[in-house]
Amino acid sequence: MSEPVFILAIESSCDETAAAVICNDEIRSNVIASQAIHQYFGGVVPELASRAHQQKIIPVVEEALSKAKVSKNELDAVAFTRGPGLMGSLLVGVSFAKAFALALDIPLIEVNHLQGHVLAHFIKDNRSERKQVPSFPFLCLTVSGGHTQFVLVEDFLKSKIIGETLDDAAGEAFDKAAKIMNLPYPGGPLIDKLAKTGNPKAFHFPVPNISDLNFSFSGLKTSFLYFIRDHVAQNPNFIEEHQADICASIQYAIVEILIRKLKKAAEYTGIKNIAISGGVSANSGLREAVSKAGKELNWNVFIAPLEYCTDNAAMIAIAGYYKFLHAEFADQSITPLARMN
Ligand code: KG4
Ligand code: ZN
């Protein structure tokens, strides 16, 4: 049997400073420091995010190594998120990973954040029961704060995008709706929570008709803005009095847009292995709707545990592991990329 491979992974693309240690495909630690500071501004402030990463990266990495009971000298490689994301945030993680790999004289592995979200389905851990992992090819709906795309995944390191949003991402639709309702950032998890006691049919929002396997959320955002504005003009307490119903109804509309297209994409590709990933895949309405559609249409549905849906370094570690097996290493000249597909 070959020696186990230990990889330290770093994720710093947005407002979570995260580090994880993996042994082959089994996660040993997964540490995330969220940045509460952005709540005061109703969204991520890039400059503040970079500074917070700089403060947190060393303690987060130390905690990840100590929780994993792995010493620096046992590491075989350092994986890091190269992009996409906020340039200042990425720079902290990339510079840290480069310096760490150089000091230990071990390989560097660059990971695309979105590929990390997709490969999160292959993370093994000793806490949850090992569920079935997707078999190739599978169709993955990646829904996050910055992206909404259909990925046709042919192998661990081979995939193509077959549809995406033409404007806002699904996570942005949640966050912007929350902002319009004066809820704090990030709004997605809060809308999910409040929606649980609301009626999803209380208010109706239009589902756009967009061609191919693409999405659009900007029309929904505008109609939601006008809806709130008009009702508040008549009743200043409208939001407070109907909060749960509004949340349930907007969540229903966002999930409906996603699920209709997912059914179309499954039919178009003929693929029945269906996965969802990214922060919005933590949404309980989407998780239920995908499971329900899976039962109706005989899909094999793959939904990751909550901790691997929103940004984390475990997903960067698993992607790093598969790249390690293929000896796909980066060199010290590597730089972050704010945009990557
Ligand atoms: O993947 P992620 O953590 O970061 C990016 O790569 O963007 O996704 C963050 C997005 C945010 O827009 C957040 O509001 C949304 O995922 N989100 C949710 C839920 N949890 C996170 N949206 C709806 N329901 C949730 N439970
Ligand atoms: Zn993400």
What CATH number labels 6-129+309-325?
3.30.420.40
pLDDT of amino acid 131: 75
**Near ion ligand 2, which residues have CB within 5 Å?**
144, 311
Contact between 205 and 224 under an 8 Å Cβ cutoff? The reply is: yes
Q: In what order do the strands lie in the sheet with 6-11?
A: 26-34, 16-23, 6-11, 77-83, 108-112
| Ligand 1 atom index nearest CA of 172 | 12
Pocket, ligand 1, Cβ cutoff 6 A: 14, 144-146, 171, 174-175, 186-189, 192, 278-280, 282-283, 310-311
Give me the pLDDT at residue 96, please.
98
- Say which ligand is closest to the CA of 34: 1
The number of the ligand 1 atom at minimal distance from the alpha carbon of 145 is 7
Q: Does domain 138-304 sit in CATH 3.30.450.40?
A: no
CA dist 243 and 56 (Å) reads 35
Query: Which pLDDT score is estimated for 21?
Result: 98
Percentage helix, strand, coil for the chain under 3-state DSSP, each rounded to 5 = 45, 20, 35
pLDDT at 130: 64
Nearest residue to 203 via CA among 261, 237, 255, 245: 245
Partners of residue 149 on adjacent β-strands: 142, 164
How many A from CA of 75 to the centre of ligand 1? Answer: 31
pLDDT of the residue at 127: 75
Q: Pick out the chain residues at pLDDT < 50.
A: none
User: Which tokens belong to 187?
Assistant: 């709004």
CA of 184 to the centre of ligand 1 (A): 14
pLDDT of residue 199: 98
Domain spans of the chain?
Answer: 6-129+309-325, 138-304
Ligand (nearest to CA of 145): 1
Per-residue confidence (pLDDT) for residue 39, from 0 to 100: 84
Give the pLDDT confidence score for residue 140 in this predicted structure.
Answer: 98
Ligand 2 centroid to residue 115 C-alpha, Å = 10
How far apart CA 265 and CA 29 sit, in angstroms, is 35
pTM, two decimal places: 0.97
Distance 160 CA to ligand 2 centre (A): 18
Distance from the alpha carbon of residue 102 to the mean position of ligand 1, in angstroms: 34
| pLDDT (0 to 100) of residue 1 | 65
Two domains, one topology: 6-129+309-325 and 138-304: yes
